[in-house]
């Protein structure tokens, strides 16, 4: 009788232990799956931001089907890890903390298209011109084609452009002042904008983060807008250099309608529908 009681208690202990073990295993699996999903989402968020350079909280929330609060927590984590910078409802990539190979991949995105655009753009530049070269990977490709010019004045807010042109004594090179934006190696903000106040040039070669589906010129940060606006006011002719991946794409800050420019220089992959919309807005496409 006593031994049966001991056996019964022992059996109950085994059942309790089995239940507790199963519960712990179950919750551990759930937690592991949640952690994996969390890491997977954050990795995908980072890849998306790397691809586009910038992303809005609202867009990320819809893309990954989670709340904006959850996205902000993800972005806070990525910022603490040094991958991104958050600003006014959005986030942009921190190129300073990317590895060299990652940075090269970003810079080489659509490189052949950017070279094609640069080759088209250089045809609009003549000896004796005064031009503004905005900061950007496509305008940097254009700068590489100017090294043999004998008489040219170039004003730029791009350190990359300046480093390319500095060895040509026949180019009068003028750099703006401003706050250094390490992500794009450019000078920005009110001081940069002030540099264009008393300047008049023949041509501006402008960059953009994207032309939205509603035909707005967009940029990653608000500090970009005051500089781009000052550049536009200083030029007679305004050429926008943008590869086809930027057409129909939008970044955080809205400069204004695409009709601020006169000519879009792009690659051959522009869609016929988007090209027609731009032409209807009075924009020439090259």
Q: Tabulate helix, strand, coil % of the chain (nearest 5).
A: 50, 20, 30
pLDDT at 1: 54
Q: Does 7 score more than 70 pLDDT?
A: no
Cα(163)–Cα(151) distance, integer angstroms: 18
pLDDT at 112: 86
Q: The tokens of 245 are what?
A: 């991946």
Residues 210 and 54 sit within 8 Å (Cβ to Cβ): no
Domain boundaries, the chain: 2-97, 110-285
Q: What is the CATH number of domain 2-97?
A: 1.10.10.10
110-285: CATH topology is Rossmann fold (3.40.50)
User: Is 0.95 topped by the overall pTM?
Assistant: no
Residues 108 and 252 sit within 8 Å (Cβ to Cβ): no
pLDDT at 3: 52
The residue ranking higher by pLDDT, 175 or 85, is: 175
Nearest to 121 by CA among 136, 104, 106, 105: 136
Average pLDDT over residues 210-225: 89
Average pLDDT over residues 214-221: 90
Nearest to 151 by CA among 170, 174, 125: 170
Cα(217)–Cα(50) distance, integer angstroms: 20
C-alpha torsion 107→108→111→112, nearest 10: 170
Q: How confident is residue 14, by pLDDT bands cut at 50, 70 and 90?
A: low
Please write the tens of the pLDDT for every residue from 147-193: 889 999 999 999 999 999 998 999 999 999 998 887 678 999 999 99
Q: What are phi and psi of 189, to 5 degrees?
A: 90, -175
Please write the tens of the pLDDT for every residue from 100-120: 445 455 555 578 899 999 999
Q: How confident is residue 31, by pLDDT bands cut at 50, 70 and 90?
A: very low
Q: How confident is residue 27, by pLDDT bands cut at 50, 70 and 90?
A: very low
Using the Cα atoms of residue 23, residue 25, residue 28 and residue 33 in order, give the sign of their dihedral: negative
pLDDT at 28: 41
Length of the chain: 286
Please write the tens of the pLDDT for every residue from 247-263: 988 888 899 999 999 99
Q: The tokens of 58 are what?
A: 């609202």
SS3 94: coil
């Amino acid at each position: 009788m006593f031994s049966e009681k001991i056996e019964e208690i022992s059996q109950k202990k085994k059942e309790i232990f089995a239940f507790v073990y199963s519960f712990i295993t179950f919750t551990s699996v759930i937690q592991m799956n949640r952690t994996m999903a969390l890491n997977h989402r954050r990795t995908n968020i980072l890849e998306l931001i790397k691809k586009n350079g910038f992303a809005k909280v609202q867009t990320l929330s819809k893309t990954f089907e989670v709340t904006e609060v959850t996205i902000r927590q993800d972005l806070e984590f990525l910022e603490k890890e040094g991958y991104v910078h958050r600003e006014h409802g959005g986030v942009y990539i921190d190129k300073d903390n990317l590895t060299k190979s990652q940075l090269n991949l970003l810079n080489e995105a659509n490189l052949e298209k950017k070279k094609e655009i640069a080759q088209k753009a250089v045809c609009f530049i003549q000896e004796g011109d005064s031009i503004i070269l905005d900061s950007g990977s496509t305008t940097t490709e254009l700068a590489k084609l100017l090294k043999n010019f004998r008489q040219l004045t170039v004003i730029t807010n791009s350190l990359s452009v300046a480093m390319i042109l500095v060895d040509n004594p026949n180019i009068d090179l003028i750099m703006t002042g401003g706050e250094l934006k390490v992500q794009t190696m450019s000078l920005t903000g009110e001081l940069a904008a002030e540099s264009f106040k008393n300047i008049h040039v023949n041509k501006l070669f402008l960059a953009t983060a994207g032309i939205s589906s509603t035909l707005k010129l967009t940029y990653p940060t608000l500090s970009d807008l005051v500089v781009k606006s000052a550049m536009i006011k200083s030029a007679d002719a305004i050429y926008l250099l943008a590869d086809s991946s930027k057409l129909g794409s939008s970044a955080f800050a809205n400069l204004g309608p695409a009709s601020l420019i006169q000519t879009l220089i792009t690659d051959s992959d522009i869609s016929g529908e988007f090209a027609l919309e731009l032409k209807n807005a009075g924009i020439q496409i090259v």
